[in-house]
């Protein structure tokens, strides 16, 4: 890093804290947000071109935010695997227990039993929410569907499907805790 780049970073270091504050509700530790933001600031200093007639701080904010967004996307990818371990019922039924696996007959019959338990629990939900979960978990005889496919089939937005699934999981999780 050249002296000019170091000077740009030092002069604009407060931008990192300013940008990182917006991401505090994400649950990431403050130190990690700032560290990631500092990396974005350093990249901005290295890539900045004054010939483009853009203020450095404007460019740096974009780079800092992009770096933090990338960190959040990476974390989200890793969280998907963990979410399969979330309990859906007080009896310990987990989401991964409902996914079909034909490797063992005993396991397959247990999966069917848990699927019937899940269907019984789903019957306590309103009809539209039941339909979303049946499609998501593949309880209708079709393979499990992605949120986008469910939204297309039911004629609503993917964001609405995501909200329904999240609300139901959160509600069930609170009941178990």
For residue 95, the model assigns a pLDDT of 59
Residue 150: the pLDDT is 92
The total number of structural domains in the chain stands at 2
The pLDDT value given to residue 157: 92
pLDDT score at 85: 56
The verdict on residue 137 lying in a domain is yes
Q: Is 44 in the same domain as 101?
A: no
- The reported pLDDT for the residue numbered 82 is 47
Query: Are 119 and 54 in a shared domain?
Result: no
| Domain end marker among 34, 50, 83 | 83
Domain boundary among 19, 49, 83: 83
Residues of the chain with pLDDT under 50: 81-82, 177
Give the pLDDT of residue 172. Answer: 62
Which residues span the domain enclosing 149?
95-176
Any idea what the Cα angle at residue 168 is, between residues 72 and 139, rounded to 5°?
A: 105
What per-residue confidence (pLDDT) applies to 175? 58
Examine residue 88 and state whether it is found in any structural domain, yes or no. no
Of 83, 117, 134, which residue constitutes the final position of a domain?
Answer: 83
Instruction: Give residue 87's pLDDT.
Output: 61
43 contacts: CB under 8 Å, gap ≥ 6: 63, 67
């Amino acid at each position: 890093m050249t002296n000019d780049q170091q000077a740009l970073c030092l002069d604009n270091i407060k931008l990192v804290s300013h940008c990182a504050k917006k991401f505090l509700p994400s649950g990431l530790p403050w130190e990690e947000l700032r560290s990631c933001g500092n990396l974005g600031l350093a990249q901005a200093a290295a890539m900045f071109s004054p010939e483009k007639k853009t203020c450095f701080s404007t460019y740096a904010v974009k780079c800092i935010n992009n770096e933090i967004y990338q960190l959040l996307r990476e974390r989200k990818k890793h969280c998907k695997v963990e979410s399969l371990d979330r309990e859906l019922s007080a009896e310990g039924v987990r989401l991964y227990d409902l996914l079909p696996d034909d490797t063992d007959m005993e396991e397959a019959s247990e999966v069917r039993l848990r699927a019937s338990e899940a269907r019984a629990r789903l019957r306590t939900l309103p009809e539209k929410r039941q339909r979303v979960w049946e499609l998501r978990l593949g309880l209708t005889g079709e393979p499990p569907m992605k949120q986008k496919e469910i939204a297309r089939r039911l004629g609503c937005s993917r964001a609405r499907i995501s909200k329904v699934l999240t609300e139901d999981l959160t509600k069930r999780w609170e009941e178990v805790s």
